[in-house]
Amino acid sequence: MAANGKKSMLIVLRHSPYGSSLAKAGLDTVLATAAFSQPVDLLLLGDGVLQLQPDQDGHRIGQKNVGRQLSSLPLYDINHVYVDAEAVTRYNVDISRAPVDTRMLDKEELHQLMAGYDHLLGF
């Protein structure tokens, strides 16, 4: 439970940005939650780290740019974006050029993070 009595929420994005519409659905949920002033943090797990690839061009496949949507998170006061360090290494994502600032977590830290929320929503 967050300090103000509201339920804390971690949204976990586990899918690649353009392979399905789940990435978009997850990000829309993040933004809606923040818009209603509910505490929400974000975790990119497994294939989800591909959403952090720099220089995305969704336009060429007729889709909105997921990277651009991620870059807007600080405007909604979403300041905690966590990322699965092992997956970043596996996919060789250049996290220094990612669209949003993130904090890398190892497996042990991921377990601790996920245990600390009232709700986990997986996309």
Partner 1 sequence: MIYSLLVLSSPISGHGSRNAAEFAQCVIARGHSLHRVFFLDTGTLASAANCVFPQDEADPLRTWVALAEQHAVELVICVSSALKHGMLDQVEAARHERPGPTANPIFTVSGLGQLVDACANSDRLITFGG
Residue 22 as a binder of partner 1 (CB under 8 A): the answer is yes
Rule CB under 8 A: choose which of 1, 25, 89, 97 binds partner 1: 25
Candidate segments 33-41, 54-62, 89-97, 100-108, binder of partner 1 by CB under 8 A:
33-41
Q: How many CB atoms lie within 10 A of CB 88?
A: 19
Q: Output the six-digit token pair for 27.
A: 């990000």
User: d(Cα 58, Cα 37) in Å, to the nearest integer?
Assistant: 29
User: d(Cα 13, Cα 47) in Å, to the nearest integer?
Assistant: 8
Candidate segments 9-17, 57-65, 67-75, 81-89, binder of partner 1 by CB under 8 A:
9-17
Rule CB under 8 A: choose which of 14, 27, 73, 113 binds partner 1: 14
